[in-house]
């Protein structure tokens, strides 16, 4: 065999070996690529949720809650849920007070002549249009103050009122005084009033409306606006103080959609991480855990939680997803947000500028990263522009 033939045979053998190796590895990798799991993460919502920890109420707020007629007295230690319920009740009161003051301000400007004596008696339709008859908060505030003997007697005395003709029928029922104004009835309840003075004050209020006494009605409604401004400020102060308690104790909660596009099942660990892309929160991340039985976790309403002496059996918290299948899960931060980070996250959330990613790890140690996402209370400016651009192009 010549030297040229030897070189040619050697080259053929090497080429064959290389082809065998390449085709073997290539086939393996191709097969692996086709059969492996391909999980994807999409964050569908983000928000704030209560924690299980009891919260200690500071002495100043304890005192204010005990003195306030608008809220219940707090205990030294309260659950997050109980504080949050009181917070929502105060916010509802704030909105009602604000609505009442807005209606009353407008009415007082339009009916100044009621206070001057220029008009002595008004018509039934004009009574119907008074804030007392239009908004429950006005009447309940005035009656409540009369029960506590906080309102002085009106300018038109009981004796002078008696001399005026009736414009509406006044009668008593189980709760107190009432008048009929066409199809509408208006009440002046005195069943909870304590003492002769408060009952007499409510009776004069009822007679003032039955007689259509312009001066007295204007006096009572003007008193409401002045008193309610103070109440509104007090309620808003309480709301602010409670907000300072709730935010640091809150947990971050997100909903994630996971889909496995591959041909093999995937198992994800029950802990994930959320890290922020905002400059204000650079290098900050939050560890999240899988909330499997969210409703059962919050079922207890007692102040403390207890476990059996011996540990109970618990199911796997790992997230198992079949091929070409998906699952929606909820994640909650392991620890409360705290004051500083909580305020930064909430501020960005309110500005529709909270930008983050979520990272998950499979049981084999592979990482899965979600696309970056924006979240906030309302639509972000970028999304608004994108939608408007699409609409304009149609």
Residue 287 lies in a domain: yes
Same domain, 221 and 94: yes
Angle of the 339-350 helix axis to the 214-249 helix axis, nearest 10: 120
Which range has the top average pLDDT, 25-29, 237-241, 261-265, 341-345? 237-241
Same domain, 162 and 273: no
Indicate the residue among 200, 222, 246 that finishes a domain: 246
Residue 151 lies in a domain: yes
Same domain, 285 and 240: no
Look at residues 283, 281, 287, 289 and name the one whose alpha carbon lies nearest to residue 355. 281
Domain of residue 385, CATH code: 2.60.40
Same domain, 110 and 209: yes
- pLDDT of 21 strictly over 60: no
- pLDDT of 33 strictly over 50: no
Q: What's the structural domain count of the chain?
A: 2
Q: How many CB atoms lie within 10 A of CB 227?
A: 16
Q: How many CA atoms lie within 13 A of 108 on its CB side?
A: 15
Same domain, 238 and 328: no
| pLDDT value, residue 129 | 94
Residue 323 lies in a domain: yes
- pLDDT of 218 strictly over 90: yes
Same domain, 174 and 216: yes
Same domain, 161 and 270: no
| Mean pLDDT to the nearest integer, 10-20 | 58
Please give the residue that has the higher pLDDT: either 272 or 317.
272
Residue 275 lies in a domain: yes
| pLDDT value, residue 154 | 95
User: What whole-number distance in Å separates Cα of residue 319 and Cα of residue 268?
Assistant: 5
Same domain, 219 and 127: yes
- pLDDT of 75 strictly over 90: yes
pLDDT band, very low/low/confident/very high, at 373 (cuts 50, 70, 90): confident
User: What whole-number distance in Å separates Cα of residue 363 and Cα of residue 343?
Assistant: 34
Indicate the residue among 208, 225, 246 that finishes a domain: 246
Predicted model pTM: 0.71
Q: Which residues contact 76 (CB under 8 A, 6 or more apart)?
A: 56, 57, 62
Residue 270 · residue 290 · CB < 8 Å: yes
Same domain, 214 and 141: yes
User: What whole-number distance in Å separates Cα of residue 360 and Cα of residue 365?
Assistant: 9
The count of residues in the chain is: 394
Instruction: Read off the pLDDT of residues 112-148 as tens digits, 9 standing for 90 and up.
Output: 999 988 889 999 999 999 999 999 999 999 999 999 8
Same domain, 231 and 124: yes
| pLDDT value, residue 104 | 96
Q: Which residues contact 312 (CB under 8 A, 6 or more apart)?
A: none
- When the pLDDT of each residue in the chain is averaged and rounded to a whole number, the result is 84
User: What whole-number distance in Å separates Cα of residue 62 and Cα of residue 65?
Assistant: 5
* Boundaries of domain holding 348: 250-301+315-393
User: What whole-number distance in Å separates Cα of residue 142 and Cα of residue 220?
Assistant: 7
| pLDDT value, residue 120 | 92
Same domain, 293 and 226: no
Residue 49 lies in a domain: no
| pLDDT value, residue 223 | 95
Same domain, 150 and 220: yes
Look at residues 256, 258, 267, 369 and name the one whose alpha carbon lies nearest to residue 318. 267
User: What whole-number distance in Å separates Cα of residue 321 and Cα of residue 324?
Assistant: 8
Residue 286 lies in a domain: yes
Residue 352 lies in a domain: yes
Look at residues 118, 215, 223 and name the one whose alpha carbon lies nearest to residue 157. 215
pLDDT band, very low/low/confident/very high, at 74 (cuts 50, 70, 90): very high
């Amino acid at each position: 065999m010549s030297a040229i033939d030897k070189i040619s045979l050697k080259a053929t053998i090497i080429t064959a070996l290389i082809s065998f190796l390449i085709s073997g590895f290539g086939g393996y990798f191709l097969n692996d690529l086709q059969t492996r799991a391909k999980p994807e993460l999409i964050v569908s919502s983000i928000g704030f949720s209560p924690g299980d920890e009891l919260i200690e109420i500071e002495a100043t707020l304890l005192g204010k809650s005990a003195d306030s007629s608008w809220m219940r007295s707090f205990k030294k230690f309260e659950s997050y849920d109980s504080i949050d319920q009181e917070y929502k009740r105060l916010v509802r009161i704030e909105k009602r007070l604000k609505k009442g003051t807005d209606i009353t301000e407008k009415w007082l400007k339009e009916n100044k002549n009621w206070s001057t004596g220029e008009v002595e008696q008004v018509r039934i339709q004009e009574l119907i249009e008074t804030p007392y008859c239009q908004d429950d908060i006005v009447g309940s505030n005035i009656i409540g103050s009369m029960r506590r003997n906080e309102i002085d007697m009106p300018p038109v005395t009981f004796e002078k009122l008696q001399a005026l003709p009736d414009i509406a029928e006044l009668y008593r029922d189980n709760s107190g005084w009432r008048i009929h104004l066409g199809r509408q009835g208006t009440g002046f309840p005195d069943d909870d009033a304590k003492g002769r003075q408060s009952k007499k004050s409510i009776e004069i209020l009822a007679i003032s409306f039955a007689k259509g006494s312009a001066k007295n009605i204007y006096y009572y409604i003007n008193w409401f606006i002045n008193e309610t401004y103070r109440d509104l400020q007090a309620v808003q102060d309480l709301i602010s103080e409670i907000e300072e308690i709730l935010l640091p104790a809150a947990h971050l909660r997100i909903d994630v959609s996971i889909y496995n596009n591959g041909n093999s099942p995937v198992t994800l660990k029950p802990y994930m991480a959320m890290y922020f892309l905002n400059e204000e929160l650079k290098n900050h991340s939050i560890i999240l855990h899988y909330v499997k039985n969210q409703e059962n976790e919050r079922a207890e309403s007692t102040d403390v939680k207890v476990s059996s002496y011996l540990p109970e059996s618990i199911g796997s918290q790992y997230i198992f997803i079949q091929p070409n299948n998906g699952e929606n899960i909820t994640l909650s931060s392991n620890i409360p947000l705290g004051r500083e980070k909580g305020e930064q996250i909430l501020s960005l959330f309110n500005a529709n500028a909270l930008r983050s990613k979520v990272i998950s790890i499979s049981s084999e140690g592979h990482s899965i990263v979600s696309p970056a996402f924006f979240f906030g209370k309302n639509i972000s400016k970028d999304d608004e522009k994108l939608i408007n651009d699409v609409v304009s192009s149609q």
